[in-house]
Amino acid sequence: MTRIPRRRPRALILLAAVGLLPAACSATDITAGTGQDGTVPDPGTGHLHGLGVDPADGAVYAAGHHGVFRLDGGEAPRVAGRYQDTMGFTVTGPSTFLAGGHPAPADPDARSPHLGLIRSTDAGRTWQTLSAEGEADFHSLVQAGDVLYGFDSQSGRVWASTDDGRSWDRRAKAEAFDLASHPGSTKTVWAATGTGLQRSTDGGRTFRPVPSAPAVVAVEEPQPGRLVALTADGRTLTAEGGRRWTQAGRLPGGGEAIVLTAVSARRLLAADSTDAVYESADGGRTWKVLHRPAIGQEHP
């Protein structure tokens, strides 16, 4: 996933410099404060980091540089007025979301520039810190059965947890824009690198390049061994076991593809660098627009 430089609040930078940031606490409530000055024009979603469908009601959610948004009839209202930079976003159950990211730049309650692993059990209205606050910056998270994998951009490593993200085993270094793994084959982890694809067969402890794989920026494994991926120019590709790649379709927008989520083998969600969100009901052959940002709110 494309990395975007982020400002850190001056107070946080100064605290970090003198070692005064408090240590992370498990299950810390981080619900206070929206972190946005009401006099500033709404910036919209900002660069999108993740998409998902809440099985509780079928609503589509998008996580971006300026919060989590519920997509509804072309509109994208911000959930609970929260402006935190929500990365690695994934839906793991009814109204249950996991994410990483950064506090809103103006959040007076921010304790660290890195949120670690956070969880919401009320569809993004409130969040709690589970682990790694101030340490991990998860750009990708994938729940594969009882194993949670995350790519931490700070260490450049794949992390793995078997207790719902409360503790972690730090595994291989990897070049990863996106991770994928299926509950039916949890030891197999795929990493989209932007220039190709890598595969681990030992739970992320080691990775090897997949021969002849195209340059993909996002990858999903909706069925064991069945891959769906996006290239930067928006092509939707499919493969069995990382071999015999074929083009299914292409995103209709002109932006660079950055996000892919497989709700099922046929239902896919995607986003591009214009902050537009697309949906496919036929495995990526055709796409329709779910959301386009208002004029002036596009990501630059």
Range with the poorest average pLDDT among 20-24, 104-108, 245-249, 275-279: 20-24
pLDDT band, very low/low/confident/very high, at 27 (cuts 50, 70, 90): low
Q: What is the pLDDT of residues 81-109, one digit of tens each?
A: 999 999 999 999 999 999 999 999 888 88
Judging by beta carbons within 10 Å of its beta carbon (0-12, 13-18, 19+), is residue 173 exposed, middle or buried?
exposed
Model confidence at 21, pLDDT cuts 50, 70, 90, reads very low
- Statement: residue 123 has pLDDT above 60: yes
* Domain range summary for the chain, segments of one domain joined by +: 45-110
Does an H or E element contain 168, and which?
Answer: none
Mean pLDDT along residues 174-182: 96
- What one-letter code names the amino acid at 187? K
In the predicted model, what is the mean pLDDT of residues 20-31? 46
> Considering the chain, what is the average pLDDT of its residues?
88
Confidence of residue 252 (pLDDT cuts 50, 70, 90): very high
End-to-end CA distance of the chain: 16
pLDDT classification of 125: cutoffs 50, 70, 90: very high
- Average pLDDT of the residues in 144-172: 98
Beta pairing partners, 64: 48, 67
Question: What mean pLDDT is predicted for residues 256-274?
Answer: 97
Burial-class residue 71 by CB neighbours within 10 Å (0-12, 13-18, 19+): buried
Percent of the chain residues past pLDDT 70, beyond the cut: 85
What was the pLDDT predicted at 26? 41
Q: Give the bridge partners for 223, in sequence order.
A: 226
